[in-house]
Amino acid sequence: MILESLRREIVTYSRKLISSGLTVGTGGNISVYDPESGLFAITPSGIDYYDMEAEDVVVLDMKGHIADGSRKPSSEVELHRIFYERREDIRAVVHTHSTYCTVLATNRMELPASSYLVAFAGKNVRCGEYASFGTKELAENTFRAMEDRYAAFMANHGLITGADTLLRAFDIALQIEFCAKVYVLAKSVGEPVILDDEEMKRMTDRFRTYGQQPHDKERKRGQ
């Protein structure tokens, strides 16, 4: 089975979409790109995440043709593929229908620097222009909204995040949903205080090396 380890990883994180409250039903989608083969694996369309197995995950080439798998891929193939074509720093994409992010997206609002944790995405989270799901127009609109960022809202739709690993892309989705919830609740009782660009630049720089880095693991193996 081509890209078996990535497909198994996608199954694991797809189930976490539900258990973490980042989506409901079969909403949202996940993909991971393998630069060595030039292929990417993506969740299938309309299959319950707890019924999904690794062989249900579809492998596509960069033209969108199926390289392995018998299932129909997610309707949002273009939304994922555009980042692998144009962003060398993104190797995994997570799209969610998380509640508070979708609230802001429905109001077509951005998430400002109301928390230092927003810096996981950048100095803010923009909202892209609306387009129907599954279209190239939606992919282009979302790509523009996520320029120099690792997260964006999709108008009247939800959240998308990207990173160098699926673990990091998923964590960004969790952090931004938390920040969106706090921001919405804070606006209900007052006016949130927004951190300035200088502070967000410091936080963005720090989060680039946040957590355990790959070379740290290699160092431990050599000891």
**Residue-wise pLDDT tens digits, 65-81:** 999 999 999 999 999 99
* pLDDT confidence bin for 216, thresholds 50/70/90: very low
| The two structure tokens encoding residue 165 | 């690993």
* Best CATH choice for the domain 4-222 from the list 3.40.225.10, 3.40.50.150, 1.10.10.60, 1.10.1060.10: 3.40.225.10
Q: What is the pLDDT, as a whole number, of residue 209?
A: 76
Contacts made by residues 54-57, CB under 8 angstroms, sequence distance 24+:
54/1, 54/4, 54/7, 54/8, 54/10, 54/11, 55/1, 55/7, 56/11, 57/6, 57/7, 57/10, 57/11
In this model, does residue 217 exceed pLDDT 50?
A: no
Residues across the chain = 223
Mean pLDDT for all residues in the chain: 94
Task: Tell me if residue 76 is catalytic.
Answer: yes
* Helix extents (H) in 31-165: 77-86, 99-106, 136-145
Torsion angle (degrees, nearest 10) of CA 22, 24, 25, 28? -40
Return the percentage of the chain with pLDDT > 90, whole number: 92
At 99-133, the pLDDT tens digits run 999 999 999 999 999 999 999 999 999 999 999 99
Measured distance CA(221)–CA(223) in Å, rounded: 6
Q: What is the pLDDT, as a whole number, of residue 220?
A: 41
Calculate Rg over the CA atoms of the chain: 17
Contact 145, 105 (CB under 8 A): no
SS3 of residue 19 by DSSP? helix
| The two structure tokens encoding residue 204 | 């963005």
* pLDDT confidence bin for 175, thresholds 50/70/90: very high
* Domain segments of the chain as ranges: 4-222
The residue with tokens 């798998």 is 69
Specify burial of residue 55 (Cβ count, 10 A radius: 0-12, 13-18, 19+). middle
In 3D space, the residue among 218, 84, 88, 100 whose CA is nearest the CA of residue 139 turns out to be 84
Among residues 76, 110, 137, 147, the one annotated as catalytic is 76
- Give the mean pLDDT of 32-43: 98
* pLDDT confidence bin for 153, thresholds 50/70/90: very high
At 50-67, the pLDDT tens digits run 999 999 999 999 999 999
Q: What is the pLDDT, as a whole number, of residue 208?
A: 81
Measured distance CA(181)–CA(49) in Å, rounded: 25
* Helix extents (H) in the chain: 4-19, 77-86, 99-106, 136-145, 166-189, 197-207, 214-222
* pLDDT confidence bin for 98, thresholds 50/70/90: very high
| The two structure tokens encoding residue 63 | 């033209």
Q: What is the pLDDT, as a whole number, of residue 221?
A: 40
- CA angle, 111 as apex, 19 and 75 as ends, to 5°? 55
Q: What is the pLDDT, as a whole number, of residue 140?
A: 98
